[in-house]
Structure 1
Amino acid sequence: MAQAWKCSGLRWAADGPVLTWIGGRRSAPARGERVAFAVAEGGVRTCVGARGHACPVRAGVPGRSVGARCEECARLDRAHSVAADTLADDPRPYRVYLAWFGPGLTKVGITACERGSARLLEQGAVCFSWLGHGPLMAARRTEELLRAALGVPDRIPYAHKRAVRTGLPGSEAERAAEIAELHARAVGLGGWPDSLTPEPFRSVDHAGVFGIEGVDRGPAVVGEVAELVAGGAIGGGLVAAAGPDLHLATERGVVVLDTRLMTGWELVSVEGAPCAVPVRELRRAAEVQDGLF
């Protein structure tokens, strides 16, 4: 019987995506390589726990949940989260950034300086620019100032990011134009905290890293995995990766797999696995505009 593994998520290193597994195993799929696995027969998806601790009741979680946590573990996971404003005394320096995911889809955010651009890669930011750096609360106040003054959000649903990714402008300059304009407006605002040091505009483009350069001219994405199911399998050649998503060339066409759907399941390696999991049609940019504007 094949050994079963539990995925703990997709991380980004300087040279590309890395799948991490409970127990310390890591695998770094390269573009062109085949990614294939099956969910154990009779398996049940269980809560992944919180902050390095297993769920005490091994609660079951829905197949379509990208968090893979029960209600109690989700609460505990956010209890010491920068995003939830519960770490006001964090002594680490932070950076404020503008991130662009597609036409009309830009957000402001913060990340610890020590993380570099990892947060932007994990979010699937196609390009970004730093705005400034300083203590956590100064970075947070600046984020709120810019969110209100520039009319940009600090959170964007991932489905929206995925939807606009299929129609990106072809050049780095075109992709950077929107954040360049917002950066210029941001540095011209008053009210920045004195302890927040502004940074000059410099666009960092991830289209090449993700493998989505000219994505509209490559193989068309035909759908996205809706959920994994016990006994189901998927296999395909990796054509692109962005944020938590793997774009796999299957016998049904290119299918997007959100790797967050893998967590909580027992998975086994398979060779010629067909795409035998529920797949839904991928939403396109035009279909999410009402939710964006």
Structure 2
Amino acid sequence: MAWWCTGVRWSGGAPALGWFGDGRGERESPLAYGQQLGFVARGGRRCLGVRRGRRRTACPTGAAVPARASRAQCEECARIDRSYSVAADTMADDPRPYAVYLAYFGPGLVKIGITADERGSARLLEQGAVAFTWLGRGPLMAARRVEELVGVALGVPDRIPYTQKRVVRGVLPPAAEWAAELRAAHGRATALPGWPESLDRAVCEVVDHAGEFGLAGLGHRAQTASVVREFVDGGVVAGRLVAAAGPDLHLVVAAGPDLHLVAAAGPDPAPGTGRGLILDTRLLAGWRLEAAAGETAAGGVTVPVAELGGVQGGLF
């Protein structure tokens, strides 16, 4: 029985590839920076069904999903997901406490959002937030009110496209500047009048994810990296994992300037050589993968790619 990739999960502050097998539940394959990855996509891309809490229910029809869709779901499963979703405002009666946060992705790229308090920083890792600070904690609707208040009063967005996050990820300023920008935004936000009494303000404590994401390993390649556009049956991606952020895996691949062509076979590129490639694992979700070995793995990349900033990413 086949296992289908579900994309990257952040478990215990570290990235892992998730897998789903009909009737067998889910499992994970931990990822480590510096390791060589190589896989071949097989068959077609299928809907992964609906995941609620820690359980995934398979799509009843195993519907096909377009290769370039950012979610591996058919329309019906996506509709079920939206019927009970904080993001879609369909669960206003959720009794759990929620936390409001400010997340930093690069200079001038600060967003506001909310997450279930029990999830801790998992949501921030999933979004690829380089750094963040909590604003407050309280009931869901109070958290929503503060999210709206800060967004309108200070012009802080609640969504930032992944394309923007990727472009700035390789040219980030020193960490002291991240912290200063977040502290300033936190001060302005908590000073606003109109906060609900049921939401407790949080002290500004900046947390950065540079270590979890392996950002030190990006180097100069991040500014010239290419981005996988889609997967195809028989398509190969092989390279050395150097960093990860949100759903993105940053690889160094032994390929020439035209990554859509099969690269010459050879060993894993040495540090300082090779080209950067960003793999958005949301596009990998829904595919059945096989390990690439031998000359196939050495071939690098045989799926369509685009220049950094040339691919429309999803929101958040």
Instruction: Give the alignment's TM-score, normalised by structure 1.
Output: 0.91
Measured in 2, the distance between the counterparts of 1:142 and 1:69 equals 31
Aligned-residue offset at 1:97: 0.3
4+ residue runs of structure 1 moved beyond 6 angstroms?
Answer: none
User: In the alignment, residue 90 of structure 1 is paired with which amino acid?
Assistant: D
Unmatched segments (≥5 aa) in structure 2: 256-274
CA distance in 2, matches of 1:216, 1:283: 18
1:46 is matched with which residue? 46
How far has the Cα of 1:214 moved from its partner? 7.3
Report whether the alignment pairs 1:184 with 2:167: no
Matched residues in 1 for 2:288 and 2:151: separation?
Answer: 41
What do residues 220-272 of structure 1 show as CA deviations (whole Å, max 9, x unaligned)? 54201111100111111110000001111111212100111111111111224
Query: Quick check: 1:4–1:268 contact (8 Å CA) kept in 2?
Result: no
How much has 1:182 moved relative to structure 2? Answer: 0.9
Give the deviation of 1:180 after TM superposition.
1.2
1:17 aligned partner: 15
- Listed as ranges, the gaps of 5+ residues in structure 1 are 289-293
Match of 2:34 in 1: 32
Q: 1:218 to 1:211 in 2, by over 3 A?
A: farther
Is 1:168–1:216's contact at 8 Å kept on the other side of the alignment?
no
Most deviating of 266-275 and 243-252: 266-275
Residue pair 1:168, 1:214 contacting (<8 A) in 2 also: no
For residue 165 of structure 1, the aligned residue among 158, 169, 175 is 169
Tell me how large the CA RMSD over aligned residues is. Answer: 1.9
Aligned length: 281
1:271 aligned partner: 293
Q: Matched residues in 1 for 2:277 and 2:293: separation?
A: 18
Q: Is the 8 A contact 1:31 1:240 kept in 2?
A: yes
Superposed displacement of residue 9, structure 1? 2.4
Match of 1:241 in 2: 244
Match of 2:6 in 1: 8
Q: Aligned pair in 2 of structure 1 residues 240, 194: CA closer, same or farther (>3 Å)?
A: same
Q: Secondary structure at the residue paired with 1:208? A: helix
SS at match of 1:144: helix
- Identity %, equivalent residues: 57
| Structure 2 residue 86 is the aligned partner of structure 1 residue 64 | no
Preserved contact between residue 170 and residue 222 of structure 2 (Cα < 8 Å): no
**Displacement of 1:90 after TM fit?**
0.8
TM-score, normalised on structure 2?
0.84
The CA deviation string for residues 127-173 of structure 1, in whole angstroms up to 9 with x for no partner, is: 0000010111111111111111110111111111112212110x211
